[in-house]
Structure 1
Amino acid sequence: MVSYAGSSVPTYDPETRELVVPRAYVGDEEYSAVLRLEKTADGVMRFVIYKLVYMSTLTFKNRGKPAGSFTLAELKKNLAPTDVSVIEPHYNSEMTYRGFPTRELFDQVYGREWRDSEEVLFTALDGYQPSIPVKKFLDHTSYLTYQAPGYPDFQIIKIFTNRTGPGTGEVANLGPFYLVWENIEDKDAPTGEDFPYQVVSMDLITFAERFPKVAPPQNSGEDVKRGFLQFRQHCMVCHMINGEGGTRGADLTHVTKKISDDEELREWIIYSRDEVMPPLEPELASGEDVNVVTDEIIAYLKAMAQ
Structure 2
Amino acid sequence: MKALFLALLVISGTAQAAQLEVQLNGGQRSWSSSELLGHPQARDIQIDEDVSYKRPMRYRAVPISALLDGVSAGDHLQAVALDGFAAELPAATLLAREGAKAWLAIEDPQHPWPPLAKGKPSAGPFYLVWTDPAASQIGPEQWPFQVARIRQLAAVEQRFPALLPAADASAEVRTGFALYQKNCMACHRLNGAGDSEFGPDLNIPHNPTEYFTGDFLRQYIRDPQSLRRWPQGRMPGFTEQVLSEQELSELIGYLAHMAEIREQRSEGQ
TM range (shorter): 0.7 to 0.9
Matches within 5 A, 1:91-240: 91-106=53-68, 109-110=69-70, 113-117=71-75, 119-137=76-94, 138=96, 139-147=99-107, 152-158=111-117, 171-183=120-132, 186-205=134-153, 206-240=155-189
Moved over 6 A (4+): none
Give the whole-Å Cα distance in 2 for the aligned partners of 1:257 and 1:77. 49
Assess if the C-alpha contact under 8 Å between 2:209 and 2:217 holds in 1: no
Match status 1:303 vs 2:257: yes
Give the whole-Å Cα distance in 2 for the aligned partners of 1:170 and 1:195. 21
Match status 1:85 vs 2:43: no
Give the whole-Å Cα distance in 1 for the aligned partners of 2:192 and 2:114. 31
Number of the residue aligned with 2:21: 58
TM-score by length of 2: 0.74
Deviation at 1:249, TM superposition (A): 3.3
TM-score by length of 1: 0.66
Deviation at 1:262, TM superposition (A): 4.6
Structure 2 counterpart of 1:85, one-letter code: Q
Assess if the C-alpha contact under 8 Å between 2:176 and 2:253 holds in 1: yes
Give the whole-Å Cα distance in 1 for the aligned partners of 2:113 and 2:208. 41
Given the superposition, is the C-alpha separation of residues 179 and 145 from structure 1 closer, same or farther in structure 2, using an over 3 Å criterion?
Answer: same
Give the whole-Å Cα distance in 2 for the aligned partners of 1:233 and 1:278. 14
Assess if the C-alpha contact under 8 Å between 2:39 and 2:62 holds in 1: no
Given the superposition, is the C-alpha separation of residues 264 and 75 from structure 1 closer, same or farther in structure 2, using an over 3 Å criterion?
Answer: closer
Identity among equivalent positions (%) equals 24
Deviation at 1:223, TM superposition (A): 0.9
Gapped regions of structure 2 (runs ≥ 5): 1-10, 262-269
| Bigger proportion of residues as helix | 2
SS class of match (1:231)? helix
